[in-house]
Amino acid sequence: MSSLQPVRGTHDLLPDEAARHRFVERTAFEVARRYGYGEIVTPIFEFTEVFSRTLGETSDVVTKEMYTFTDRSGDSLTLRPEGTAGVARAFISGGLAQSLPLKLFYRGPMFRHERPQKGRLRQFNQVGLELLGIDSPLADVEVVALAWRLLATLGLGDKVQLEINTLGDADSRAAYRDALIAYLTPFADKLSEDSRARLDKNPLRVLDSKDDGDKAIVAGAPSMADSLSPAAREFFATVTGGLTALGIPFVVNPRLVRGLDYYCHTAFEFTTTALGAQGTVLAGGRYDGLIGQMGGPATPGIGWAAGVERLSMLVETVPAVDRPVAVIPMGDLLAGLTLAEQLRAAGITVDFGFSGNMKKRMVRANKVGARLALILGEDEMARGAVMVRDLDAGNQEEVPLASIVERLLGRG
């Protein structure tokens, strides 16, 4: 394979596709801002421990998918596979406990060495958010509502389904862990190798196995609902009641889990079948134990992340950006460039035609979606004017150069 090809699992974003990505990111940022979130930008790489401690030493991400390397100082560094761990690290290292509650939005590239598939790459982009410092179930409702609002704003409300479950509190999880181990142990020799390794340390992750044999066994496993404490049951009832009150449709999926111990209470995913097999486009949950496990103060938290690639594939239409004006100098190029800069300084988007005959330049003007062509020939220059051609209506008029800015801005 030629070294001039992109690395497997990476992808060039050419202008049209980049515009779709930017639309998704910009929409996510604007919706999050409407809910009071500010943007946080963390480094693309962190010390490996930031992820190994938060994602779990036995997780697929840590054992199989992270891009980890040793730098010249001998430190083990990892390209970030997700965003929450970096935000939690920033919270601790930045001493932000005195600033709670915090509403933080992030966006940017993530990296996982997994099998590339439709909408899933080894370098991919996410938008996400974290709400730190609020332990009320209504915080969960608002975070899910924000996700729903984003998807609806992108025009995806009828393409996704919200699935939600409760992971209970610490007492609930301990009781469920015991019940799950008791159920799975007799099937230990029939479980996949990965699930056997998780049976004692992290049995909840067996429920999320993609192995068909594991799925058949898990189908008869006890439900978390049977192990919920009264407090956990009330917490979940408040969450589902809040979603119902806001008119957000959902289904309870008792098999929706998060395997690590710091996750609790609400777990949710927005899934779609519009990309083929059912896939997740946005997922999140409550993680009250994460920051404490990382060495920071006990801090409740809930958040979610969404894949920009998958969302952009679902988006049907992207609003057009400001259509440019094409400046076409048929004589003095410098005079044409001077006019283009004058228009740009006034806030007008300009495409400047450097070369070619009139026909070729008009073809380019149409290709870039220009609304007007400003033709500056020797005759027009001699009269101190420019010919303005409306590329939609087809008519044209001569306008004095001294008033062209005012005319294009609609003030003259």
* Each residue's pLDDT tens digit, 343-397: 999 999 999 988 888 889 889 988 888 999 999 988 888 899 999 999 998 899 9
Q: Where are the alpha helices (DSSP H) in 251-332?
A: 290-293, 308-314
Alpha helices in 190-248 (DSSP H): 193-201, 212-218, 230-245
Q: How far out from the chain centre does Cα 200 lie?
A: 34
* Residue 64 DSSP symbol: I
Q: What is the pLDDT of residue 40?
A: 98
Helices (H), 35-70: 48-55, 60
Q: Where are the domains of the chain?
A: 15-169+229-314, 325-408
176-187 b/e (C-beta count within 10 Å ≥ 16 → b): beebbeebbeeb
pLDDT of residue 60: 62
The residue length of the chain stands at 412
Confidence of residue 119 (pLDDT cuts 50, 70, 90): low
pLDDT tops 60 at residue 1: no
Backbone angles phi, psi at 271, to 5 degrees: -115, 160
pLDDT in tens, 238-269: 999 999 999 999 999 988 887 677 889 999 99
Give the tens place of pLDDT for each residue, 177-203: 888 888 988 888 888 888 888 887 778
- Predicted pLDDT of residue 311: 95
Report the CATH fold assignment for 15-169+229-314.
Answer: BirA Bifunctional Protein; domain 2 (3.30.930)
Whole-number mean pLDDT of the chain? 90
Alpha helices, H only, 246-357? 290-293, 308-314, 333-345
Under DSSP, is residue 239 helix (H, G, I), strand (E, B) or coil? helix
CA nearest 353: which of 370, 366, 339, 336? Answer: 336
CATH class given for the domain over 325-408: alpha beta
Identify which has the larger pLDDT, 73 or 322.
Answer: 73
pLDDT above 60 (res 131): yes
Q: Which residues of 40-72 are buried (b: 16+ CB within 10 A; e: fewer)?
A: bebeebbebebbbbbbbeebbbbeebbebeeee
| C-alpha–C-alpha distance, residues 397 and 412, integer Å | 14
Tell me, what amino acid is at 162? L
- Six-digit token pair at 391? 């590329």
Q: Do domains 15-169+229-314 and 325-408 have the same CATH topology?
A: no
